[in-house]
Structure 1
Amino acid sequence: MASMNFYSMVLVAIALVSAPLAAVAGDPDILTDFVVPTSLIGIPINITGDYFTYTSFRPVPLPTATFTLSKASMAEFPALNGQSVSYAKLRFPPGTVNPTHTHPRAAELLFLLEGTLSVGFIDTAGKLYTKDLVAGNMFVFPKGLVHYQSNQGSRPAMALSAFGSAAAGTVSVPVTVFGTEVDDVVLAKSFKTDVPTVQKLKAALTPPPKK
């Protein structure tokens, strides 16, 4: 009986220790207030207030026909390293879309600043959740789920998206499927179509070779 009680206590202890670890879903914790960058020769760089200021995330002229994205992630703003936050600015001329994509490392909280947007995401059971947003609305896209935004109105729309990761990552569904070197026959069978259709989609989504 004593050995059984001891065994039960060990299992409880393991569960209590493991539970917080299972709940961690963001970037790894850092052991300092912030991550200090180093120079090419490994010497820490002198840090001032400028390091914590990102000055390139400013309004730009709205293009006439394409969706545009401006990011402030760890790649563009190194001070975000270890802070588990990042931003993106999205601009939608009328009739444009942010194609289906996922963020594997963070949920996305979108705040619509102006215009209107139709948004949606698909859960792992294949159910589609959609909403028509107006300025002032917020919408959350759960981490890792396929989602999109579309401006079906007659006016431009602009939104800010916040992420719970300094490097949320973006996986474009169309580009990942048809813009890579996955075998044409595999794709044709997967999408129940023919090889010429797959090749046409690949031609449209594969970036031209760099000169």
Structure 2
Amino acid sequence: MLPISFLVLLLSSILSPSSAADFCVADLSRPANPAGFSCKKASTVTVTDFSFSGLGATGNTGNIMKSAVTPAFCQQFPGLNGLGLSAARLDLGLNGVVPLHTHPAASEVLLVSEGKILAGFISSSNTVYYKTLIKGDLMVFPQGLLHFQVQSGSSPAVAFATFNSPDPGFQITSLSLFGSSLPSPLVEKVTFLDDEQVRKLKRVFGGTGQVLKYRSRLLL
């Protein structure tokens, strides 16, 4: 027979309410840390922390990429903090594209709801997997791998993505290279592009760093 003391402890653990918090709504007034945001005081939490209406509106595709990504990450949807999931809406106009990008902290599942999207990713062994998706199709993009979406067909496309992190991160490779202040000589060095190509792409994406060209070359 089990000792009486053990039975008492077992019953108390079953019958007592859990000491774990039900949720940890993000306190966006405080900085995030690797584990996420700090929790808001329970007395300040409202139902609006657990709902988000931003994915119902069409994103503005009037840009060079002819696409828009509307995130419902922890920063926009505080109730997601600590729950391990988030979402986003993707709008692709005609000839729209979301260039090669990564989500460092999450895998992604994409669901096409309108139009056609050519989507794919590149594995760490440089194998490419891509397919044209139609309404109702799903595709998964493993965490951290480069992937892309391109509008295909005769009409704009819409898709919804879910992620297994409240803050998956979002880094577009071309923006990081050509929309930043990384000096042109360094960009040329790491991409094998010539100076004219780098300067052109920096103008397109709004990057800086050309003025450091000659001085930086002395350091390479």
- Taking structure 2 as the reference length, the TM-score comes to 0.73
Question: CA–CA distance in 2 between the matches of 1:130 and 1:170?
Answer: 20
Q: What is the one-letter code of the residue matched to 1:54?
A: F
Would you identify which runs of 4 or more consecutive aligned residues in structure 1 move more than 6 Å? Answer: none
Matches within 5 A, 1:134-173: 134-173=134-173
Q: Structure 2 vs 1, CA of residues 37 and 178 (structure 1 numbering), >3 Å: closer, same or farther?
A: closer
Q: What is the one-letter code of the residue matched to 1:59?
A: A
Question: CA–CA distance in 1 between the matches of 2:158 and 2:192?
Answer: 37
Does residue 179 in structure 1 map to residue 176 in structure 2? Answer: no
Can you list the C-alpha shifts for 1:78-115, whole angstroms capped at 9, x where unaligned?
A: 11110111010111112110111000000000001111
Deviation at 1:73, TM superposition (A): 0.6
Aligned partner of 1:58 in structure 2 is 56
Helix, strand or coil for the counterpart of 1:89?
A: strand
Deviation at 1:44, TM superposition (A): 4.5
Q: Is the 8 A contact 1:37 1:45 kept in 2?
A: no
Helix, strand or coil for the counterpart of 2:45?
A: coil
Question: How high is the sequence identity, in percent, across the aligned residues?
Answer: 31
Aligned partner of 1:27 in structure 2 is none
Q: What is the one-letter code of the residue matched to 1:50?
A: T
Unpaired runs of 5+ in structure 2? 1-19, 30-39, 209-220
- Which one scores higher on RCO, CA 8 angstroms, separation ≥ 6? 1
Aligned with 1:34 (options 3, 9, 23): 23
Does residue 119 in structure 1 map to residue 108 in structure 2? Answer: no
Unpaired runs of 5+ in structure 1? 1-30
Q: Is the 8 A contact 2:178 2:207 kept in 1?
A: no
Question: CA–CA distance in 1 between the matches of 2:124 and 2:24?
Answer: 36
- Taking structure 1 as the reference length, the TM-score comes to 0.76
Question: CA–CA distance in 2 between the matches of 1:70 and 1:166?
Answer: 14
Question: CA–CA distance in 1 between the matches of 2:84 and 2:179?
Answer: 30
Helix, strand or coil for the counterpart of 2:143?
A: coil
Q: Is the 8 A contact 2:93 2:155 kept in 1?
A: yes
Q: Is the 8 A contact 1:37 1:44 kept in 2?
A: no
Q: Structure 2 vs 1, CA of residues 184 and 37 (structure 1 numbering), >3 Å: closer, same or farther?
A: closer
Aligned partner of 1:49 in structure 2 is 47
Helix, strand or coil for the counterpart of 1:57?
A: helix
- What is the number of equivalent residue pairs in this alignment? 178
Q: Is the 8 A contact 1:38 1:44 kept in 2?
A: no
Matches within 5 A, 1:93-108: 93-108=93-108
Question: CA–CA distance in 2 between the matches of 1:38 and 1:176?
Answer: 28
Aligned partner of 1:8 in structure 2 is none
